[in-house]
Structure 1
Amino acid sequence: MKFTLILSLILVFSCKQPTNKTTVEKENKSIVKEIDKSFLKTTITFPSKDSLPITADIYKNKETPITILLCHQAGYSRGEYKDSAIELTKLGYAVMAIDQRSGKTVNNIDNETAMAARTKGLGDTYLDAKQDIEAAVDYIYNQNGGQKIILVGSSYSSSLALLMGVNNSKIKAVAAFSPGEYFKGIDINKSISMYKKPVFVTSSLSESVAVKTLVNKVDASYLTHFIPEAKGIHGSRALWKTTEGNETYWASFKEFLSSLKN
């Protein structure tokens, strides 16, 4: 009887081992996912200036330091760059797309930073999100060995990116998709008049006159303003494959990025 009980326990234990091992393997694979065997996507969290956890996706195709930070538009999440980030890895860049605390959901990816902010009762205005972008710049700079960062913004975050880029020595260049005067009490046009680093701006065709006015004080030698011939669209959605004329946006953006390597 005793021998039978011991044998039964051994059999039960041995049967459970493979299940546990498989579970662990699945959990590990959920941390780093390989897609199409061409790049790795990793989801991480790190603290904002006020300790709010920021959720971010890192895309890379080799052990290249992160040098591009991608920030989404209003009502969105890091999912705004779900496809655009992959295209950037094909150009040899490692990039990070963050959830700012002002946003919701896009491309079936929820804004986890915004959800955490609401849970903690923290502010989630456009200007509240500035500290998230600042924290992300600091995080990347500390992780990549002190290499300067290309900061990419969309809609409200593009205006934040322009504001930050003026005096932040960790930012090499700024790409702003549909920037505007989005903040009460802050004059973007005046604030960015002293730019001494490369700036790329673009928008939908209908927004182009307003964008031209917004950046008219920036030294032309530092400015690249792409105006689409097609209707285009607001924000970095201009790079999406579903946007008519996305190829022209990409061509101009790629040319700008290439100029930064010189």
Structure 2
Amino acid sequence: MRIKVYIIICFFCMVSTILQAQKTITFFAADGLEITADVYDTDVESSKYMLLFHQAEYSRGEFQQIATRLIKIGFTCIAVDLRYGNEVNFVNNETAMRAKKGGFASSMIDCEKDIAAAISYVKTLDTKPRIFLMGSSFSASLCLKTANERNDIEAVIGFSPGEFFGAELSIEESIRGLQTPYFVGCPRSEHYYVLQLLSGTQSKKKIVFKPEGSDGLHGAKTLWWESATRDEFWLSLLFFLKDFK
């Protein structure tokens, strides 16, 4: 009986979170692929936009809980379905399905086109947007790389970045010299590896966080309510974000 009650409570919590998504929109990447995203509007007057990119085999559903917390501190959140993905939290990756059906290139590296398209989309919403990128796993790596190649990104939040691209792309080299502020979080088991990855960056404002309570989860799901380390990660992340008024 207790298990049934727990399941029902979880279901209604999930539905309540889903309803927080103000609207689902689409825009187009440079190669013509239509990209799906969920927009979570903040009630606070703000020009800050947090673009949220999921980990491999996931969808924009990775950020249901995360976005509903970020909008409370003044960020309009846009959770994007990248072309490399599948499903999570009962949310299918519509972009990945279109990419497969249409024969679009859809490797992890090809998701750079989707990140660039999301940035361009934000610029149609606001004349002077303050753009923040949040990535999870492979997309965290691409967000750091993107920030190092552009001058219109205010900060990057990355969870569990790494070398996921083989000989095709070295993230350590691609982010060498990065000056954009960043927050990078990872499990304790990944910490040494992440420090090496970031060793060539030159950002003056940065936090590289590992939890103390337990190892932590890979990617942005370490912020989910069911994560044992969520409070530690949220506290450190909010401390980082407080300076971006």
TM-score > 0.5 by shorter chain:
yes
Distance 1:58 1:155 in 2: 21
SS in 2 for 1:142: coil
- Give 5+ residue unaligned stretches, structure 2: 1-15
Report the counterpart of residue 229 of structure 2 in structure 1: 245
In the alignment, is the contact (CA less than 8 A) between 1:141 and 1:148 conserved in 2? no
Report the counterpart of residue 31 of structure 2 in structure 1: 50
Distance 2:82 2:48 in 1: 18
In the alignment, is the contact (CA less than 8 A) between 1:40 and 1:61 conserved in 2? no
Report the counterpart of residue 221 of structure 1 in structure 2: 204
Report the counterpart of residue 9 of structure 1 in structure 2: none
Shift of 1:148: 2.7
Matched, 1:195 2:178: yes
Report the counterpart of residue 178 of structure 1 in structure 2: 160
Distance 2:189 2:238 in 1: 23
In the alignment, is the contact (CA less than 8 A) between 2:21 and 2:38 conserved in 1? no
Distance 2:97 2:56 in 1: 14
Alignment of 1:79-228 (within 5 A): 79-183=61-165, 184-219=167-202, 221-228=204-211
Q: Which moved more, 1:156-165 or 1:185-194?
A: 185-194
Distance 1:141 1:207 in 2: 35
Distance 1:83 1:247 in 2: 13
Shift of 1:64: 4.2
- In 2 relative to 1, CA 220–44 (structure 1 residues): closer, same or farther, beyond 3 Å? closer
In the alignment, is the contact (CA less than 8 A) between 1:41 and 1:58 conserved in 2? yes
Shift of 1:145: 1.6
Alignment of 1:2-17 (within 5 A): none
Report the counterpart of residue 41 of structure 2 in structure 1: 60
- In 2 relative to 1, CA 220–101 (structure 1 residues): closer, same or farther, beyond 3 Å? closer
- In 2 relative to 1, CA 139–66 (structure 1 residues): closer, same or farther, beyond 3 Å? farther
- In 2 relative to 1, CA 118–39 (structure 1 residues): closer, same or farther, beyond 3 Å? closer
Residue 194 of structure 1 aligns with an amino acid whose one-letter code is: G
Normalising to structure 1: TM-score of the pair?
A: 0.82
In the alignment, is the contact (CA less than 8 A) between 1:67 and 1:144 conserved in 2? no
SS in 2 for 1:44: strand
Report the counterpart of residue 5 of structure 2 in structure 1: none
Which of these two proteins has the greater Rg computed from alpha carbons? 1
Distance 1:177 1:40 in 2: 22
- Give 5+ residue unaligned stretches, structure 1: 1-34
SS in 2 for 1:133: helix
Residue 126 of structure 1 aligns with an amino acid whose one-letter code is: M
Among 45, 57, 61, which residue is 1:75 paired with?
A: 57
Residue 240 of structure 2 aligns with an amino acid whose one-letter code is: F
In the alignment, is the contact (CA less than 8 A) between 2:48 and 2:130 conserved in 1? no
SS in 2 for 1:127: coil
* Deviation per residue, 1:38-76 (Å, 9 max, x gap): 955110011111111100000013364451100000000
Report the counterpart of residue 13 of structure 2 in structure 1: none
